[in-house]
Structure 1
Amino acid sequence: MWIDFLARKIACDQDYIQMITPIEYLKEYKTNQIAVPADSSWGHKGYFEYWLNDSNNWIYRHLHQASFRMVGLTNRYKDTLKNAKPTSLFHRAINQAARELLLAESSDWPFIMRSGTMVPYAEKRVKTHISRFTRLYNDLMQENVDQNWLAEVEARDNIFKDIDCVKYYMDRKENNHNSKARNFRERV
């Protein structure tokens, strides 16, 4: 989302920087230096040991599973996402699932776990967001979203309030939807 806002700012509010496509760049600048950057980070020793080590490696299997599930949800309900109003229960639930996944994926949590400061807090945040995501996933898959619980969760963590899964998670492949999914879409 921040890239979208950056691009809009560059296009509208200044004349110093101009955005061009990679092809336009190569046409304009014929000679280019080839670079092959090494994997590195700003972390300790320049590598990823703060974000992946024995203190925090348990989170990644949960994050990966949630990521795959998020893509699966949006693929399964692609037509619903395109046609539902952003305020519909379904759209709100799937967008909150995306928020929970983004919050669980924050690099702050594994960093805090490795640094040893506020470890219980970081662990709780990962577990909370994964738990909320999982409940939303299960509710959406069962096509039975608890509107009151969703409203509570939205009120607690409504960062990225303009997130739209249609833009961020959609697979371009066509999917077949079973009749149960179609019936759920008609209700929302």
Structure 2
Amino acid sequence: MAKGYLAIILHAHLPYVRHPEHEYFLEEKWFYEAVTETYIPLLRTCEKLAEDGVGFRLTVNLSPTLISMFNDDLLRSRYVRQLERMLELADREVHRTRHQPEFHNTALMYRDLFSGVHHLFTEKYRRNLVEAFKKLQDAGMLEIITTGATHGYFPLLGKQREIINAQVVVAVELYERSFGRRPAGFWLPECGYKPGDDLILKK
């Protein structure tokens, strides 16, 4: 008899940041850093487990704002540009620290990181991280769920239930367009719950 169950749920969310009116925008770097240091390494780890024959199941919540940024052509192009700039910097650091062993290994590590991520993003994933996550879900390794459209805290969104309903409907519609199915679960933003939210989610 089972004594209990363990569900590992990873919550992936970033606020929506997109500023075409600015050539460089500080907050967009949050997105680029997260893709480089979190989302692509997560995808690659899952793929390596599958390649090694390790059975695993994870639930990942991809927020609608994050999915929208993954799918945005401008942000994809700017991300490649950012990776190329970081690669140039890493190359300069490798050269600069060649006689400083205490720093040189770190410079080499970052050059390898940016080079590897650039290859994965542009060649393996063809700039489409949503499709990469979808393949893992279709293979039965990931279960991807959604959350509120703007990740707003439901208890503070007001007494008008239409606001909560809209957060759910927009999120589910984006999920269906992205993954070709309805989500099997819903992450309450910031784990905030108000009585009656369950009835909206049930629909």
TM-score w.r.t. the length of structure 1 is 0.28
TM-score w.r.t. the length of structure 2 is 0.26
Greater relative CO, 1 or 2 (CA 8 Å, sep 6+): 1
